[in-house]
Structure 1
Amino acid sequence: MDLRRQVAYRSKRLNHGHLVEADLRYGTREALGPHAVMLFFTSPGPSEPHGYRLHTGYRLFLASPESDDLPRLLADLTAVAESNIARSAAAGRRWHPLGPHAAMVNGGDMTLPPHAHYVGAGVSTLDSDDGRWDQLARSLRNPAATGLRRSAWDLKGQCFVLLVDGTAMHIERNPHARLGDDGIRSSKPLDPNWNTCWHNPNAGLTEQGDHTARERWRHLTALHTIFTTHLHAGRPA
């Protein structure tokens, strides 16, 4: 349960960093797309409160029609991962998404300590129920007739995460959330005192929402499955 919370809080931080960087680059040749991919790993950390350290690599994408379409972006990454695995196996190497050959990340923890292992994948997106990123970014630079101005610090963001223990999480980062509202919906409990007899309305999280939401989960599941199958092969049960 601690890992679920740590991943959720790390995702929020990465989403905020994604927002700040996208705001800084908006309108330039290096403008960022609204979606990023996150990969989570843990390594032994005997001095840490729960005995592990969390590591996160991420990939940001330049703005383009392809990077604006999240299902397409995830499907393309899944195909690239499959190709990299096959090509590395043919060359007698074992591919890893953090590299050194054909790395799939361009930020965060680019190298891992010994005995680190994969625990999940996620998406950071700057689209929210307030609107799409491109619309929101334009509104920051062209305030409404009311004269009210907002900054990037006022904008929401959200993340979608799948972990190897079967947990799915939808994490909303809302700078104006009420105190005590962490914005985390999880298919598995985050509270160690959770009673197994209680109903969890988010148990079927990946099947909830409209067609677009379900497609997002479906493509993230495909990418996560590739990583889980490949990176956990040969590990002791």
Structure 2
Amino acid sequence: MTNVTTPAAGRHHSSDPPGPAWPPEPVSPQQRCWADLRQQVVFRSKRLNVGHMIEADQRFGQRDALGPHGVALFFVCDAPAEPHGYRLHTAYRLWLASPEADDLPGLLGDLTEVTADNIARGTAAGRRWHPLGPDGSMVNGGDLSLPAGAVYVGVGVSTLDSDQGRWQQVGRSLRDVPAGGRQRSAFDLKGQCYALLTDGTALHVDRDPHARLGADGVRCTRSLDPDRISYHNPHEQLTEQGDHPTRQVWRQLARLHRVLTAHLRAERRP
């Protein structure tokens, strides 16, 4: 590992300054590294959500139709040639459409229970379970193998539900030909992403393909700009904001994140 403290090093317990300070405190390499990682997670989450949307649209109404929700796992490994000394890897899980797959909090809750069972079963058999397998894999896409030493840094959600409506309703509307109007495509639809990282970051992405220039739709409990870490952040309590269904998503995602963190990073705690 390089001398720079990156997410791959596992020393993730520092926190951003609590409020504005003048003169501003120097930004550490670790803070810049985590800010960069948050930006990369935003980019990967958006890309996953777009791919999820396109694939779900292509398979809409078919026997192998996709459900509206997916889960992503984020890992980093040492990469000295990269600007911050690490490389991000993303694996994900998508589900076939079913009544159970429509309920995001329930889906996350079930996945948490399955994950805990896999961990316990592996421990009882003297094996260390990993979410990418080979036994009990919880992913079916993305980076399905990792370099040696890769470290878990977070979990996320891709959902096709948005303020435009639930996916089944919106996806069906793409098949309607408007009278005298332009028919929409999947590229016109919004999507959402949630993520929790091991440094305490929570972030939400409202992906809007028609957003005005400069509106990225990102809300994050910690700064994505390493030079603004001491500025007031209106999203510090992000996981407690929003309506009840949104808070339920955060709570169930946090349960899954705690189980994965406790298992995958236990040996890295000081």
Pair in the same fold by TM > 0.5 = yes
1:42 aligns with: 76
- Counterpart-to-counterpart distance in 2, 1:147 and 1:188: 42
Q: CA deviation at 1:49?
A: 1.2
Deviation at 1:147, TM superposition (A): 3.2
Structure 1: segments with no counterpart, 5+ residues: none
Query: 1:1-237 to 2 correspondence within 5 Å?
Result: 1-196=35-230, 198-237=231-270
Identity between Structure 1 and Structure 2 (%): 64
- What amino acid is aligned across from residue 148 of structure 2 in structure 1? P
Report the secondary structure of 1:141's partner residue: coil
How far off its partner does 1:193 sit? 1.3
Task: State the SS of the aligned residue for 2:195.
Answer: strand
Deviation (angstroms), 1:181: 1.2
Structure 1 consecutive aligned stretches of length 4 or more whose deviation exceeds 6 Å: none
TM-score, normalisation: structure 1: 0.97
Q: Are the equivalent residues in 1 in contact too, given 2:91–2:142 (CA < 8 A)?
A: yes
Q: May I ask how many residue pairs the two structures share in their alignment? A: 236
How far residue 210 of structure 1 moved from its aligned partner, in angstroms, is: 1.0
In 2, the alpha carbon distance for the partners of 1:184 and 1:14 equals: 15
Name the CA distance, whole Å, in 2 between partners of 1:145 and 1:201: 43
Describe the SS at the equivalent of 2:268: coil
Partner AA of 1:234 in structure 2: E
Amino acid in structure 1 at the alignment position of 2:79? G
Counterpart code for 2:233? N
Matched letter for residue 213 of structure 1: T
* CA–CA separation in structure 2 for the residues paired with 1:235 and 1:203: 27
Unmatched runs of 5 consecutive residues or more in structure 2: 1-34
TM-score, scaled to structure 2: 0.86
Give the Cα separation in 1 of the matches to 2:113 and 2:229. 40
CA RMSD between the two structures: 0.9
Q: Is the 8 A contact 2:240 2:247 kept in 1?
A: yes
| Secondary structure of 1:234 counterpart | helix
Q: Which amino acid aligns with 1:211?
A: H
